[in-house]
Amino acid sequence: MTAAFGTALLGALRTLLPRACPGCGAQLGAHAGLCPACRAALRPHVQAHSPLRAQPEPHLVTLGTYSGVRRRAVRELKFAHARDLARILGEALATGVPADWNVQAVIPVPLHPGRQRQRGFNQAELLGRALASALAVPCVPALIRTHAGAQQARRHAAQREDLHGAFRAHEGFLPGGPVLLIDDVLTTGHTAQACQDALKQAGAPQVYVAVVAR
Ligand SMILES: [Zn+2]
């Protein structure tokens, strides 16, 4: 089967099979991922305040709070293999990345290997590929998890030390300029902070962050 035929077949199936929009429950019809109304509700903006900066400075691009369409879309992204959704969210985020950040590469927050085997994919990587493609920069797997501490740290969110050293960055994958870290959600910020530390340690001069919601 050729790729073009596959795409046409997929398009035809989409119109035939009733599928609900994960954002609002309306029928998707021929639309992929999210209905037009939910897409229109995804507006990126830049934030200057987060646990990732000691001083306020624009560094974080997000589509908004972890609620409504964003919450439902992130859940769908985790629990179903929703590539269409990753593309829509990644592209929406890309439109909010300021040109003067001069981002040279997108770097997904890695899942714990056990979790990735279980799920079969990393949702941050799906988002990262879409975001990178829209920004016309590479998406590089520059970060690896070095131990399982992160799983535990999620249960004891107050213990930041558990995450310290949980990530390592491959210097060889870093572009030499500013990078954009991507994850689905920023909650305590401990994971992003540990990733940011690892990237800086490996020589990234500036680390910006993109998340669907926080
Ligand atoms: Zn919708």
Give the Å distance between the CA of 180 and the centre of ligand 1: 28
The whole-angstrom separation of Cα 139 and Cα 203 is: 17
Give the Å distance between the CA of 22 and the centre of ligand 1: 6
- For 114-165, the pLDDT digits (tens) are 888 888 889 999 999 999 999 999 999 999 988 655 455 555 554 544 676 7
**The predicted structure's pLDDT at residue 11:** 67
pLDDT at 59 over 90: yes
Report the candidate in 53, 142, 52 with the shortest Cα–Cα distance to residue 105: 142
Q: Which domains, and CATH codes, for the chain?
A: 1-40 (no CATH), 42-213 (3.40.50)
Give the Å distance between the CA of 75 and the centre of ligand 1: 14
Protein residues with C-beta less than 5 angstroms from the ion ligand 1:
21, 23-24, 35, 38
Are 176 and 149 within 8 A, CB to CB?
no
Considering the entire predicted model, what is its pTM? 0.85
pLDDT averaged over every residue in the chain: 88
Give the Å distance between the CA of 40 and the centre of ligand 1: 9
Q: What is the per-residue DSSP string for 115-163? A: HHHHHSS-HHHHHHHHHHHHHTS-B---EEE-STHHHHHHHTTT-GGGT
Give the Å distance between the CA of 70 and the centre of ligand 1: 11
Are 208 and 150 within 8 A, CB to CB?
no
Q: pLDDT-derived band of residue 9, with 50, 70 and 90 as boundaries?
A: confident
**The predicted structure's pLDDT at residue 14:** 61
Burial of 16 (0-12, 13-18, 19+ CB in 10 A): exposed
Give the Å distance between the CA of 192 and the centre of ligand 1: 29
**The predicted structure's pLDDT at residue 13:** 66
